[in-house]
């Protein structure tokens, strides 16, 4: 399964692609950052992001697109641009008939490091370790996109259906499944706080 991870952003939109084998082994395929010029008008910046994402989806033909779920931040302009970029990734995937999954930053950190509150450097180091990279993925948007792809690839299949969990899950995967299960039972206001 080829997982196309997206760390949405209007100036820098991270793209990370990993291949997940049936044994849950992951291998690095591609990483990139689609950039738009902050000096351009909003519509042209959105077009640049959409075209960049579309081009890479066409090139790699992923099985699923995993996008960071947008949540409220203090800076409204940042949230707006991030939400628009996430919507463009969903649109590009929908046009190609590719399923979309949304994972919060906490879920991605938990899946990659075993700690939902991990620092960026911890995420970068674990991404490099999981994918057996010689160096840390840079910039941070690229590492976050790879973390999104890893998060989706390692999600426990069926772990939350009827409380059944696969017996061979790692400790980090069990914690991730428990956090996701707990998040489902919180009110919408409590989620992603």
Query: What 3 state SS string does 107-129 have?
Result: HHHHHHHCCCCCCHHHHHHHHHH
Annotated binding residues for Mg(2+): 7, 68, 141
Q: Is 7 known to be catalytic?
A: yes
Annotated binding residues: 7, 68, 141
Q: Is 166 known to be catalytic?
A: no
Element (H, E) at 76: helix 76-95
Q: Is 119 known to be catalytic?
A: no
Q: Which residues lie across from 2 on neighbouring strands? A: 19
Nearest-angstrom CA–CA distance, 103 and 180:
9
Of 19, 124, 141, 144, catalytic? 141
DSSP state of 139: S
Of 19, 68, 107, 124, catalytic? 68
User: Which residue from 76, 69, 127, 124 is spatially nearest to 102, judged by alpha carbons?
Assistant: 69
- So which residues are the catalytic ones? 7, 68, 141
């Amino acid at each position: 399964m080829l997982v196309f991870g997206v760390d949405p952003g209007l100036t820098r939109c991270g793209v990370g692609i990993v291949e997940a084998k049936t044994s849950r082994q992951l291998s690095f395929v591609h990483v990139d950052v689609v950039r738009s010029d902050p000096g351009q008008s909003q519509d042209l910046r959105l077009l640049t992001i959409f075209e960049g994402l579309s081009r890479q989806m066409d090139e790699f033909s992923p099985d699923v697109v995993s996008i960071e779920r947008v949540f409220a931040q203090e800076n409204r302009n940042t949230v707006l641009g991030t939400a628009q970029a996430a919507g463009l990734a969903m649109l590009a995937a929908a046009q190609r008939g590719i399923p979309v999954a949304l994972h919060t930053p906490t879920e991605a950190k938990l899946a990659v490091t075993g700690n939902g509150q991990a620092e960026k450097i911890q995420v970068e180091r674990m991404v490099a370790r999981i994918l057996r990279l010689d160096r840390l993925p840079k910039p941070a948007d690229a590492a976050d996109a790879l973390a999104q792809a890893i998060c989706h690839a390692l999600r426990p299949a069926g772990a939350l259906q009827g409380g059944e969990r696969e017996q061979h899950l790692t400790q980090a995967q069990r914690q991730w499944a428990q956090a996701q299960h707990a998040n489902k039972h919180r009110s919408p206001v409590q989620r992603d706080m």
